[in-house]
């Protein structure tokens, strides 16, 4: 069964750990992440960007696949199916398709418009029992066509959005989607602390989880981060393992070209990455 992310994030906040959001792209990604979550008895959030939803032929296909996979793999840990960086229209489509959680990314609108649109979605999500993530400030870099300048969030704007009754808040604190550049200034803990001060117990979300040093992850969790998003790191692990398989000529041996064999090393590499992240975030055994 899919659940809203509300309860798992409140537990994470109170228990001083974070739940990982791992983005999915296809069946292999979804299966690898679900199996690892079950093995480690960790709650998990499956993130779906609008681009990935389109790639998988639509949000209804995604919701049907995830629900069926949770049932047929016998997954017992809490799983939330979450839209990542949704547009207003995308949010409505995912609610209809049967997602259990959505993110409305209104960070590119003027704050008054972000507040208004978020307010409308809060009402719909509350009625339907979904959890809602909102964003203030922006995450730098690019993810599936969503580009952000990376400006740090204004704590007063965070409070205005948090007061609407969202379940989690993504505040830009110098984090970036994709690989961090060598000259990256690091996370702004000053901003994070100022946001926390204004929003109290609201679970905070750290996007751009790929490549953030361990000490920074731990400090962010200490300062109220209860959800950490990881996407690029699973893609890099999958690509490296697949490259190694092909470069070793394994696809040319016997039936090594069989997609179930060809994709297996990449799927195993995703499992390894998810495991490392869950251990670092502290969510192992928390299901």
Residue numbers at the binding site for ligand 13P (CB under 6 A): 23, 47, 84-85, 143, 177-178, 207-210, 229-233
CB of 21 within 8 A of CB of 97? no
Dihedral angle sign, alpha carbons of residues 201, 274, 276, 192: negative
CB of 99 to ligand 13P, least distance (A): 15
Least distance in angstroms from the C-beta of 16 to ligand 13P: 21
Q: Which is nearer to ligand 13P, 81 or 245 (CB)?
A: 81
**101 vs 245, which CB is nearer to ligand 13P?**
101
26/76 with CB nearer ligand 13P: 26
Closest approach, Cβ 178 to ligand 13P, in A, equals 5
Give the integer Cα–Cα distance in Å for 77 and 113.
Answer: 37
Q: CB 229 → ligand 13P: shortest distance, Å?
A: 3
Query: At its nearest, how many Å lie between ligand 13P and the CB of residue 176?
Result: 7
Nearer to ligand 13P, 79 or 230 (CB): 230
Q: Which is nearer to ligand 13P, 108 or 250 (CB)?
A: 108
> Hey, what are 275's tokens?
């495991």
How many beta carbons lie within 10 A of that of residue 168, not counting itself? 28
How far, CA to CA in Å, does 173 sit from each of 158, 249, 259? 12, 44, 41
Four-CA torsion 126, 127, 131, 132, nearest 10 degrees: -70
Catalytic site residue from 14, 84, 154, 258: 84
| Nearer of residues 220 and 245 to ligand 13P, judged by Cβ | 220
Instruction: Look up 84 and say whether it is catalytic.
Output: yes
For residue 248, the minimal CB distance to ligand 13P (Å) is: 28
Catalytic residues: 84
């Amino acid at each position: 069964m899919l659940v809203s992310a509300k309860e798992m994030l409140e537990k994470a906040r109170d228990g001083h750990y974070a739940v990982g959001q791992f983005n999915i792209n296809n069946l292999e990604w979804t299966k690898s992440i679900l199996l690892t979550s079950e093995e480690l008895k960790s709650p998990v959030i499956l993130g779906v960007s609008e681009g990935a939803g389109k790639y998988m032929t639509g949000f209804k296909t995604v919701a049907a696949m995830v629900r069926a996979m949770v049932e047929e793999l016998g997954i017992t840990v809490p799983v939330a199916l979450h839209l990542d960086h949704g547009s207003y229209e995308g949010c409505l489509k995912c609610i209809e398709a049967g997602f259990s959680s959505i993110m409305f990314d209104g960070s590119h609108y003027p704050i008054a418009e972000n507040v208004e649109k978020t307010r409308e979605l809060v009402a719909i999500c509350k009625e339907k029992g979904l959890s809602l993530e909102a964003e203030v400030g922006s995450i730098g870099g690019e993810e599936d066509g969503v580009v952000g300048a990376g400006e740090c969030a204004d704590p007063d704007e965070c409070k205005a959005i948090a007061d609407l009754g969202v379940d989690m808040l993504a505040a830009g604190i110098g984090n970036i989607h994709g690989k961090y550049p060598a000259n990256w200034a690091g996370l702004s803990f000053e901003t994070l602390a100022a946001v926390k001060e204004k929003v109290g117990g609201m679970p905070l979300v750290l996007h751009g989880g790929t490549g953030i040093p361990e000490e920074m992850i731990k400090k962010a969790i200490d300062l109220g981060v209860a959800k950490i998003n990881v996407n690029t790191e699973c893609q890099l692990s999958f690509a490296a393992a697949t490259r190694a398989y092909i470069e070793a000529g394994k696809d040319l041996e016997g039936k090594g070209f069989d997609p179930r064999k060809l994709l297996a090393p990449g799927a195993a590499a995703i499992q390894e990455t998810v495991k490392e992240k869950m251990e670092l975030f502290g969510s192992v055994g928390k299901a």
